[in-house]
Amino acid sequence: MSHIKNTDKQYVANTYGRFDLVLTHGQGSTVYDEEGNKYIDLATGIAVNTFGFADEGWVAAVTEQLGKLQHTSNLYYHEPGARLAEKLCTRTEAKSVFFSNSGAEANECAIKTARLWAAREKGSDYYHIITLRNSFHGRTITTLAATGQDTFHTDFTPLTEGFLYAEANNAPSVEELLKTHKCAAVMAEPVQGEGGVMPLTQEFMENLRALCDKYNTLLILDEVQTGNGRSGHLYAFQSYGVTPDVMTTAKGLGGGLPIGATLFFEKSNGTLKAGQHGSTFGANPISCAAACHVLDRIDDTLLEEVKAKSEYIFSTLSGKPGIKSVSGLGLMIGIETEGDSGVILKACMARGILPIKAKTKLRLLPALNIPWDDLKAAVEIIAEEAEKAL
């Protein structure tokens, strides 16, 4: 075993099930391991490297900012933060943004906002937040409570109180909880990513909006994974035409640098007052400069390309031998296989492509600009290996 693997195994806390691969460097959707083997990357560090590895334009944007200011704290104004907030608002109709460093933190901010908003608007006993079964919202004690999967909760109790779980794509189950509990918000991922790449239906999203209006609660959409072009729209809510009151994002926003953002729309704007929330690293100028570059690159042409690539994957794999179903939105795709997905994944890795898993499915989260040739080669290998595993 390599020196790097040994050192990691000895000194890094053993909280991850890693693949048996040490990655050293890459370019775009191509990445190399320490033995010099070449791979087509289909995971982008879990929907983070929006334009792949070491993208030239992204590196230039980051490098330029690195030479100016790497950090200021939020005691001062700076240009990349202001510019990024303006871009996010003008492209979503949000009114203001809070910057943090991760998806979990972006969701913590959304949850604090919902509690505060409801306490002011409706009374401090209106603190319940409804989330969906099979959801994933993060790893902090509060975002674990928001995560509607019992396996994540075991032995971490007591979790933050006040979370209730409804069924995805089942509006009556949401309304029942809204009727019987004093609620501040409903929170959902437009496509449940970690839960197996399960999109919410158009009807359910519209129902969520209507129910939140009827019961005067906030609608929080967690676009940590679906955001930043991955869905084929800049944000997935735009593909449903359902506007949230709070939206969170992270993963792909910085294109590989840590940043989280909580966007406040009309109803929630101005809820958090000075001193009620903060983050030392939040709005880090380098992360913000990276994110400005990422957003500038996600234009209509790129989004059309994302949709075309998505359709290609769906139409090529759907109904093929060994493939039970293909689900998802844009370049966030889950593939349910007849054979063991773990076996198929290993075979794919041996043939030089790197998909990941979501539950028992194969999951594809390629760079938005993955070259067509790489995508076609990868999809062909997946089809072949899925058939072999029958």
Ligand X SMILES: *Cc1c(COP(=O)(O)O)cnc(C)c1O
> Smallest gap, in angstroms, from Cβ of residue 137 to ligand X?
5
Q: Which is nearer to ligand X, 193 or 282 (CB)?
A: 193
What contacts 310, CB < 8 A, 6 or more positions away?
A: 232, 328, 329, 330, 331, 333
Q: Rounded to 5 degrees, what are φ and ψ at 208?
A: -60, -45
> Smallest gap, in angstroms, from Cβ of residue 85 to ligand X?
19
Q: Which is nearer to ligand X, 225 or 287 (CB)?
A: 225
> Smallest gap, in angstroms, from Cβ of residue 245 to ligand X?
17
Q: Which is nearer to ligand X, 92 or 143 (CB)?
A: 143
* Interface residue list for ligand X (CB under 6 A): 102-104, 107, 136-138, 189, 193-194, 222, 224-225, 250-251
Residue 378, both tokens: 């990868």
> Smallest gap, in angstroms, from Cβ of residue 193 to ligand X?
4
Distances (CA, A) of 229 to 115, 178, 248, 305, 350: 29, 32, 14, 10, 30
Q: Which helix (H) or strand (E) holds 335?
A: strand 332-337
Q: Which is nearer to ligand X, 323 or 361 (CB)?
A: 361
What contacts 15, CB < 8 A, 6 or more positions away?
A: none
| Cα–Cα distance measured from residue 256 to residue 61, given in angstroms and rounded to the nearest whole number | 12
> Smallest gap, in angstroms, from Cβ of residue 185 to ligand X?
15
> Smallest gap, in angstroms, from Cβ of residue 125 to ligand X?
27
Closest to 220 (Cα-Cα) out of 278, 271, 157: 271
| Cα–Cα distance measured from residue 145 to residue 135, given in angstroms and rounded to the nearest whole number | 11
Residue 31, both tokens: 């990445």
Residue 349, both tokens: 């890795």
Q: Which is nearer to ligand X, 118 or 250 (CB)?
A: 250
| Cα–Cα distance measured from residue 74 to residue 143, given in angstroms and rounded to the nearest whole number | 24
Q: Which is nearer to ligand X, 111 or 323 (CB)?
A: 111
Torsion of CA 179, 180, 182, 188, to 10 degrees: -70
Q: Which residue is nearest to ligand X (CB)?
A: 103
Q: Which is nearer to ligand X, 137 or 297 (CB)?
A: 137
Contact 190, 327 (CB under 8 A): no
Q: Which is nearer to ligand X, 30 or 248 (CB)?
A: 248
> Smallest gap, in angstroms, from Cβ of residue 106 to ligand X?
8
> Smallest gap, in angstroms, from Cβ of residue 223 to ligand X?
7
